[in-house]
Structure 1
Amino acid sequence: MSKVSMIANAVQRSLGTMFPGYFSGTTKRNHYADFGYPEAISFDMFWQMYQRTGYGKAAVERYVGKTWEDLPSLQTDEKTREMNKVEQALFDRFRDLRAWPKIVEADRRSLVGKYSAIILRLADGQGMDKPVGRVNGLDGLIEIIPAWEGQLTISDWYSDINDENYGKPKMFQFNEQGVGSDNKQKVRNFNVHPDRVIVWSNDGTVHADNFLSAGFNDLISIEKIIGAGGEGFWKNAKAGLFLEIDKEANIEAMAKAMQVSPGELAEAMDDQVNDFQTGIDAYLLMQGMTAKNQQITLPSPEHFILAPVQSFAASVSMPTKILTGMQSGERASSEDQEDWEKTISSRRDRETVPNIMELVNRLVQFRVLPEEDWSIDWPELGEASPAEKIARADKMADINVKHMNAGGAAPVFDGNEVREAAGYEPVEGVDDIEDDTDTGPPDSEEDDDQ
C-alpha cells in the first residue's frame, strides 16, 4: 500500500470516529446511546416510570378508569336484569371479598408489566404449590390476591415438547416484597401452582407486549425536559454570584482588610458571599473584584415537550387531550371522545372480558361456582345517564302528542319503545301511547239517532 493510501485511510478512520454513520467503513449509529435511552427495559424501570412520572401514571389510570367506568355483573340468564339466587350469592361473596376492586387492581398492574396475575386462595385442603383439590361452593373462595409481574415470577417451565402444557409455566414464585419492598409488612413468600393463578394480560400469557414499551423513550424525553426546566428555573431563582478578580487586585491588602491571612481569604470570601445571599450581610467587601449574577437562559419548554407528549399519546392509542386532561384549557372534542370510547370498548372485548371469563371458568372448574351458562352484563360505554334517558323518553312522548294532534293515525313510538328509552324493561301488553283528545267535530244528535 502506498504512503498516500495509508494517509487517506487514516484520515477516513478519524472522520469515522468523529462523525459515526456518515462516512463509509463506519458502523451504524446507536441512537439509544446517543439520546440516553436504555437498550433493554426491565419491569422495575416500567414500574418506576409509572410511579414517578405524571404522563406514565396518567396513561395507565386513564385506561383503567375508562375500562372500569362501570362494574360488570356476572349472570346466568340474559333475558332479565333481576338477579336470581345463584347470581345474588355470587354478588354477595364478591362484595365480601372486595373481589371487583382487586380484579381492577390486577388490570391496572397488567398495564405496567407484561402481565399481572390473580392468585386464588381456596379452601381445598391443599398447599399453594399443589393442584387444586375439591372446593365446596362460594365459601371455598377465601381470597383474591392481585400480583405485579415483579412479585410473581416463573420458577419452572414445562419443557417436554410432547406435553400439552409445553412452554407454559409449571410453577410460580410469589414474593410480596418483590415490588415496593420498603413495606416490611408484605411478608408472604411461597410457590404457587398454575391452577391457582389467573394470568392477566392482553393475550392471556406471560409473554405479552408491555403497554408502556413503545412510548418509554418519549417518557424519558418528557422527564428530561421537565427536569431541565425545573433545574434552570431554580438556579435562576437562586441567583448565584460569581466573582471576577482583576489582575491588579491586591490580595494581601484585601486579606488584611478582612482580618484574615492570605491563605484564608478564599474561605472568608465564600462565607461572606453565603451570608450576603442569605440576607445576613448587606454588603460585600471586594477590592479589585466584580460580583456578577449567574444567569441561565432556557428556551420555553412547552415548545419542546409537545412532540414527545404527542408521540407518547400515539403509542398508547390515546387522544392527547384525554391524556393531558384540560391543562390547555380546552376539552377533548366529541370526535376524540368517540374515538377513545371505541378504543376502550375494543379493549374490553379483546382483553378484559376474556380475562374475566377465564376467572369464571376456573371457579366453575373448581366447583366454587355451579355449572351454568355464565355471561357478562356490562353497560356500554357512553351510555346515557338516568336523567338523560328520562329526558329522551319525555321527548319521545311529546313527539307522539304532536304527531297525533297533527292528524297522525298512530303514535310514532309505542309504549315499550318509550320505556326502553327511559331505561326500563319492556312490558307485554302495553298499548300504544295515544292521545285521548278528540279534535274532530262533536257527533250530531242525528248521527246518534242513526
Structure 2
Amino acid sequence: MAGAKKPTRKVAPKSAERSLTTNEQRAVTLLAEVAARASLAARFGKSFGDDRDIYEALGYTKNPSFNDFYAKYVRQEVAKTLIDAPVTACWRKPPRIVESSEKEETPFEAAWNALIKRIPLWSHIGRAEKLARIGNYSVLFLGLSGSADFEQETTGTNELLYLTPFSQKSADILAYETDGSNERFGLPNSYKITMANAHGKDDVKTVHWTRVIHIAEERLESEVLGTPQLESVLNRLQDLDMIVGGGAEMFWRGAFPGWAFSKQADANWEGQSKEELNTEIEKFVHKLTRILKVEGVDVKSLAQQIADPSNMVNVLLDLISAGKRMPKRILTGSERGQLASDQDEKHWADTIQGRQAQHCEPYVLRPLIDRLILVGVLPAPAEEYTVEWPDLQVPNAKEGAEIGKIKSDTIKNYASTPGADVIIPPEVFLRDILGMSEDKVEEIITIIGATVDADLDEIDEAGDQQTDSPVTGTETEG
C-alpha cells in the first residue's frame, strides 16, 4: 500500500557495562605486575635468537613460587642459613624502648616492659621476619581482646592476648586503600587469612588491617611486595644441590668399585646354577656382604672413578656469599660468627646494624609499637619514644684489655705533658680522643673538680695551721 509506514525496528537498549571497582582495578594492576614478572622470567636464559635456553638445559626454575622458596628453606642447609642468620643476628640482643632519659619509669615504658615479659614478642617478630624473607611478605596477626569480628576495625582499649605470624601463602590481600588523599594509599585494607582451628582444620577469616602488621623486605617499586631473599641466588642453590647430590651418588657408585665376572674356560656350573650365582652377586652389590661364594668364575675389580667436588662447591659458596653480602665464613660457620675472622665479624656486624636501622626499626618494630598504641594496648607516650639498639661490636676480653691499656697510656701521656690541657681542654680530650659519652665526661669532670677542691682545702688548712702555731727556737750566745 502506497504511503504506508515501514515498521520501525525496535533496538534493545544497550546494557550498561559494569565498571570495575577500585579494589578490582587494584587487583588487576597487581595481577598485571605478576604477569609482567612472569613474562620477564620466561626470557631468562634465552640466547642466540631463542635457539638456546640455558635455564631449560640446566633445569633452572624460571618463575619460582613461594612453594619453591619454602621447599629450599626447609630442605637445604645454605638456604636456611641465608634466611635465618640475618634475622637471628638482628634480634638476638633486643633493643630498649625508651621514652625519657629520667631513671623513673614512665607509664608507657612500664606498659611496654610488662608486655614483653608476658608475651615472647621478639620470638614472634623473628618468625614473621623469616616468613617475609622466604616470600614477598608476611603478616603478624594481633590477637586482641574485645570484638571477635576480625573483619571490623578494632577500637577502644584492648589487651594483646597473642601474636601469630602468617606467610603470604596463608594471608592473601583482599582490598587496598584507594583514597589518594589517605596516608595509607596503596596499602592493604583487609586480608584473607587461613588459620588452623582447634580441630586442625583450616578456618578462613577476613581480617582488618588494624589487626595486622605487614612485613616486607627489600621493597622496590611496590610498598606491599618485597623481594624473596633466595630469588637472586636460586640458580646457585640448585647448582649446589646438583654438585653435592651428584658427588654423593658418585662416591656411592665409585667408591664401591665395579666388578667383572667372567666364566672360566673349563668351568662346570653343574654345582652352582646361574640363579644361585646371580643371588650371590646381588647380595655382594646391594647388601654389601664381604663374602662372595662362586665357582667357575673369575672376579676382577674395575678401577674407581672419583672426583673431588669441593672446588666447585667453594666456587658456588663464593658466588652465594657475594650475592647476599654475607661473609663466607658466616655462611658456612655458626650464626654468631665465632669461626669468622675479625674482619668478617666487623663486616657482618656493620651489615646487621645497617639492617636494624634501615629495616627492623622503621618497617617492623615502630609500626608494631605505633599500632599497639593506636588500638589501646599501650598508652600514648608523653614524649617521642626512641629505640636503642645494643652495640654489636663490643670487644671481647682480650680486645677490651688491649683497648684499656691504650687508653691508660693515652691518659698518662696527656696528664704528664705540660700545657696539654691548654691546647686540648679535658672535656674535649675525654669526648673526642677517648670517645666517652657526654654523661661520662660530665661525671669525670665533676669528680676531678671535687678532688681538686678537696686538695685545695687541705692546702689551705695546712697553711692556716702553720700561721697560727707559735714560732719556737733557741737564742744564740754571742
> Any idea what SS the aligned residue of 1:431 has?
helix
The residue aligned with 2:77 is 54
**Pair 1:229 & 2:232 matched:** no
In the alignment, structure 1 residue 308 sits paired with structure 2 residue 316: yes
Gapped regions of structure 1 (runs ≥ 5):
1-19, 439-444
Give runs of aligned pairs for residues 28-427 of structure 1, distance below 5 A.
28-77=51-100, 79-80=101-102, 83-136=105-158, 140-154=159-173, 156-158=174-176, 164=182, 167-176=186-195, 189-202=204-217, 203=219, 205-239=223-257, 241-244=259-262, 253-254=268-269, 256-258=270-272, 260=273, 265=274, 267-276=275-284, 278=287, 282-287=291-296, 289-293=297-301, 296-325=304-333, 332-354=340-362, 355-372=364-381, 373-384=384-395, 396=407, 399-401=410-412, 403-405=414-416, 407=418, 410=421, 420=436, 426-427=442-443
Question: What is the rounded CA distance, in whole Å, between the counterparts of 2:288 and 2:396 in structure 1?
Answer: 60
Task: Tell me which amino acid in the other structure corresponds to 2:322.
Answer: A
Q: Deviations over 1:318-376 (max 9, x none)?
A: 122221228xx995444433332222222212211112111111112112222222221
Q: C-alpha distance in 2, partners of 1:176/1:124? A: 19
Amino acid at match of 1:297: Q
Task: Provide the identity percentage.
Answer: 21
Write the deviation string for residues 366-409 of structure 1: whole angstroms up to 9, x where unpaired. 12222222221112331346997687567645643454345466
Query: What SS is found at the alignment partner of 1:323?
Result: helix
Question: Would you say the 8 A contact 1:115–1:149 is kept in 2?
Answer: yes
In structure 2, what is the Cα distance between the partners aligned to 1:177 and 1:249? 73
CA contact (8 A) 1:107 1:200 kept: yes
Write the deviation string for residues 234-276 of structure 1: whole angstroms up to 9, x where unpaired.
Answer: 2334445453468x787xx52x322x4xxxx2x3222111344
Q: Over alpha carbons, which structure has the higher Rg? A: 2
Change (3 A) 1:234 1:283: closer
Given that 2:213 and 2:367 are in contact with CA atoms closer than 8 Å, whether structure 1 keeps it comes out as: yes
Alignment of 1:9-24 (within 5 A): none
3-state SS of the aligned residue for 1:103?
Answer: helix
Which SS does the other structure have where 1:145 is aligned?
Answer: strand
- For residues 269-322 of structure 1, give each alpha carbon's deviation from its aligned partner in whole angstroms, at most 9, with x where no partner exists: 2211134455768443243x5434455523211111122111111121112222
- Alpha-carbon distance change, 28 to 283 in structure 1, aligned in 2, over 3 angstroms: closer
Q: Distance in 1 between matches of 2:403 and 2:292?
A: 75
For the Cα contact (< 8 Å) 1:218–1:308, is it kept in 2? yes
> Does 391-400 or 215-224 show the bigger shift?
391-400
Q: Secondary structure at the match of 2:448?
A: coil
Aligned letter for 1:198?
A: I
Measured in 1, the distance between the counterparts of 2:283 and 2:397 equals 66
User: Does structure 2 retain, via aligned residues, the 8 Å contact 1:126–1:133?
Assistant: no
Change in Cα spacing, 1:133 to 1:293, as seen in structure 2 (3 Å) is: farther
Cα contact 1:157–1:170 (8 A) shared by 2? yes
CA distance in 2, matches of 1:426, 1:401: 20
Question: CA separation of 1:387/1:187 partners in 2, compared to 1, >3 Å: closer, same or farther?
Answer: farther
Which of 431, 435, 446 is the matching residue for 2:447? 431
Change (3 A) 1:31 1:275: closer
Cα distance, 1:124 vs structure 2: 2.8
Distance 1:130 1:330, change over 3 A: closer
- For the structure 1 residues 398 and 313, does the alpha-carbon distance in structure 2 shift closer, same or farther, using more than 3 Å as the test? closer
Change (3 A) 1:83 1:163: closer
Contact residue 58 and residue 323 of structure 1 kept, 8 A: yes
Mapped partners of 1:209, 1:38: distance in 2: 17
Q: Contact 1:403 / 1:412 at 8 angstroms: preserved in 2?
A: no
Q: 1:324 to 1:243 in 2, by over 3 A?
A: same
Partner of 1:441: none
Number of paired residues?
400
What value does the CA root-mean-square deviation take over the aligned residues? 4.2
Instruction: Give the TM-score taking structure 1 as reference length.
Output: 0.74
| Contact kept? 1:393, 1:419, Cα under 8 Å | no
Specify the alignment match of 1:10 in structure 2: none
CA pair 193-293 structure 1, distance change in 2 beyond 3 A: farther
Contact 1:420 1:426 in 2 (8 A): no
Question: Given the superposition, is the C-alpha separation of residues 163 and 177 from structure 1 closer, same or farther in structure 2, using an over 3 Å criterion?
Answer: farther
